[in-house]
Amino acid sequence: MKTNTINISFRSDLLSKIDNAAQEESRSRSELIREAARMYIERKSRWRSIFSLGDAATASQGLSSDDVEKEITSHRRSKNR
């Protein structure tokens, strides 16, 4: 697989945390950042799927976003009692 080299800037405190994490895991800085990017993209994809399912469920029930928000608020209030 073809790879590309990029330049990216980090604040020095974040770069230190990246380097410490990479060292703890015996991997390179690049490996750690690649894994972080893959995980971020996968998580965004999963959330997109979850929200799509929620949108489909509310549409099939004839509910609006306000209806869902009111129900959530009501449920949270009942749990706090």
Residue 68: per-residue pLDDT:
85
Residue 18: per-residue pLDDT:
97
- What b/e readout covers 48-64, taking b as 16+ CB neighbours within 10 angstroms? eeeeeeeeeeeeeeeee
Q: Whole domain around residue 25: which residue ranges?
A: 12-80
What confidence tier does 1 reach under pLDDT thresholds 50, 70, 90?
confident
> Residue 47 falls within a domain, yes or no?
yes
Q: If you write DSSP's letter for every residue of 17-77 in order, what string do you get?
A: HHHHHHHHTT--HHHHHHHHHHHHHHHHHHHHHHHHHHHHHHHHHT--HHHHHHHHHHHHH
Residue 35: per-residue pLDDT:
97
% of the chain at pLDDT higher than 90: 73
pLDDT, tens digit, 9 for 90 and up, residues 10-47: 999 999 999 999 999 999 999 999 999 999 999 999 99
> Residue 5 falls within a domain, yes or no?
no
> Residue 25 falls within a domain, yes or no?
yes
- Per the structure, the count of domains in the chain is 1
Distance CA 80, CA 58 (A): 25
Residue 81, pLDDT > 90, answer: no
